[in-house]
Amino acid sequence: MMERLTLLLKRLPVIWKLMLGATLLIFMVFATYNFAQYLVLKQWMLKQEQDTLHNMMSQVQVYVQDKANSEEAFQLNETKSYMRNMMGKNQMIRIIDDKNHELLLTTNHFKAEWIQPMHTPEKQLQDIRHDEDHILVYRSPFDSGKIKGTIEIASNLETFDHFNKTLLLVMVIGGVIAVGISAVIGWAIAKQFLRPIKALAGTIQNVKENGLQERVENIENGDELSELARLFNELMDQLEVSFRQQQQFVDDASHELRTPITILEGHLNLLNRWGKKDPDVLEESLGASLQEVRRLKGLVQELLTLTRSETRPLPDHVEYIRIDPILNQTVKRMEILHPEWVFDLQLEQGLMVKINPLHLEQIMLIVIENAVKYSDGDQRVHIASRVMHDNISITVQDHGIGIPSEELQHVFDRFYRVDKARNREIGGTGLGLSIARNLVQHYQGEISMTSVENEGTRVSMTFPAVAVR
């Protein structure tokens, strides 16, 4: 039975769980408080009844000690009148001797036969029941010199019991009303609380059915659930951008790989048909095939480099390094590769950046190589470093063909190349700047590009600075 109940509770919707939980909590608090209050009131009222009997007993004892010096004295009208005036409703005063013979009996809506006369040598307080009646009996011995006996005072707690029952009924009714109100309020609170979660669940279902463009409607509650909805929308924005970039990457990679593979296939078919016996055709096809293989190898290598730069975490052991030796070394390598070019260095000494030296060299080689590739007449490249706004700035300026302003925003995208027909002749894969951007961002840096057509292009990189020495 308990297992079925537990399973049923687990299968309930969250709104029902929250409502039942809130209702149960309020009921337990209300029931505990009311029960404690009921017990305190009951004990306090019972104590009041007992105190009343004690006061009556004290007065009766004083009167008996002073006035009742014989059995006849208890039968006097004065004595009976005094006892009647002292009693309240539903009470009895009875005086008996030490042999349980009745000396005096006065009642007010109380049946004396409910209580058997009983002599007692010491004070005694009893709480007894006779059928449905609840009776409080107080007995106390007396000794007036000539007479010894017991004074019995009894009180029917009918009013006390009726008040207790009424109080308990009111508390139960109040508890039921409180539980009902708490259930309604709990339902309303749970519904309001779950509204953002339902919206989030509905959006996730819509994303599953319709795609990544679905978003959660703005929930201006100002609470954690609103923050959760906002973070979900931001996550979906990033996922949509990432998905589109991935799709574009796959399309571009397929396109870039298709061209060399097609060329290779064409030359191999040419060799297979008649080129094996024609030395000129054989030499031309082998040369073209080797060139395409090298291009494929370079493309695959750059794809691997790009993937590593995006997924590999920043090493913990990376230290701050001086950048001027790295830049000088990189420029010397470029001077060897391009002896006809002039590389103008304007470096501020002592600048330090937290970066892997090999990565900094790779970034500079990519940027400078691009500057060389896309320059026509003016074969000059300017490289400078300086401190700017608590950051270290490295710039590479060429005087080449420039880039149209509408295409600047795409130059760091994978496989993107300005004037693709011409770039096919120049060579390259369109991955260099993507690799450079990922490496720069990997070290909390920024990279940007400005360009004017037929005047030149400037690439600027900034890194957090540590010191200037």
The pLDDT of residue 343 is 92
442-446 average pLDDT score: 88
199-212 average pLDDT score: 75
The pLDDT of residue 429 is 61
69-97 average pLDDT score: 86
The pLDDT of residue 320 is 87
Among left, alpha and beta (phi > 0; psi -120 to 50; other), residue 365 is alpha
pLDDT tens for each residue of 221-258: 666 667 777 777 788 788 877 777 677 667 666 766 77
The pLDDT of residue 1 is 64
Q: Is a pLDDT exceeding 50 seen at residue 423? A: no
| 3-class state of residue 357 by DSSP | helix
320-464 homologous superfamily:
Histidine kinase-like ATPase, C-terminal domain (3.30.565.10)
DSSP class of residue 127 equals: E
Q: Which contacts of 217-226 are long-range, i.e. CB under 8 A and separated by 24 or more positions?
A: 219/195, 221/196, 225/193, 225/196, 225/197, 226/196
400/398 Cα distance (integer angstroms): 6
149/103 Cα distance (integer angstroms): 9
Q: Is a pLDDT exceeding 60 seen at residue 116? A: yes
- Comparing 25 with 126, which gets the higher pLDDT? 126
- Comparing 206 with 417, which gets the higher pLDDT? 206
158/140 Cα distance (integer angstroms): 23
Label residue 382 by pLDDT band (50, 70, 90): very high
The pLDDT of residue 359 is 85
> Who contacts 145 (Cβ-Cβ below 8 Å, separation ≥6)?
69
The pLDDT of residue 238 is 80
Q: Is a pLDDT exceeding 60 seen at residue 377? A: yes
pLDDT tens for each residue of 9-21: 666 676 677 777 7
3-state SS, one letter per residue, for 167-180: HHHHHHHHHHHHHH
The pLDDT of residue 189 is 76
| 3-class state of residue 402 by DSSP | coil
pLDDT tens for each residue of 278-314: 777 777 777 777 777 776 776 677 666 656 655 555 5
Least confident of 58-67, 150-159, 160-169, 315-324: 315-324
Domain boundaries, the chain: 12-165, 211-312, 320-464
The pLDDT of residue 468 is 47
DSSP class of residue 112 equals: G
Least confident of 28-32, 49-53, 167-171, 291-295: 291-295
Could you tell me if 350 and 322 are in contact, meaning their C-beta atoms sit under 8 angstroms apart?
yes
Q: Is a pLDDT exceeding 70 seen at residue 185? A: yes
431/308 Cα distance (integer angstroms): 13
Q: Strand 342-347 to strand 124-130: parallel, antiparallel, or no bridges (unpaired)?
A: unpaired
33-40 average pLDDT score: 86
DSSP result, 201-227: HHHHHHHHHH-TT--PPP-TT-SHHHH
**How far is CA 31 from each of CA 40, 163, 178, 179, rounded to the nearest angstrom?**
14, 19, 10, 10
182-206 average pLDDT score: 76
300/31 Cα distance (integer angstroms): 74
pLDDT tens for each residue of 135-174: 999 999 988 777 889 999 999 988 888 888 888 888 888 8
Q: Please name the residue ranges forming H helices in 312-341.
A: 323-337
Could you tell me if 414 and 429 are in contact, meaning their C-beta atoms sit under 8 angstroms apart?
no
Q: Please name the residue ranges forming H helices in 338-443.
A: 357-373, 420-426, 432-442
Mean pLDDT, the chain, rounded, equals 80
Please state, for a pLDDT cut of 70, what percent of the chain lies above it. Answer: 82
176/174 Cα distance (integer angstroms): 5
Q: Is a pLDDT exceeding 90 seen at residue 274? A: no
416/2 Cα distance (integer angstroms): 65
> Who contacts 16 (Cβ-Cβ below 8 Å, separation ≥6)?
none
CATH for 211-312 is 1.10.287.130
198-219 average pLDDT score: 73
Label residue 220 by pLDDT band (50, 70, 90): low
182/25 Cα distance (integer angstroms): 9
- CATH class entry, domain 12-165: alpha beta
The pLDDT of residue 64 is 85
CA Rg, the chain, in Å? 51
Q: Is a pLDDT exceeding 80 seen at residue 330? A: yes
Among left, alpha and beta (phi > 0; psi -120 to 50; other), residue 427 is left
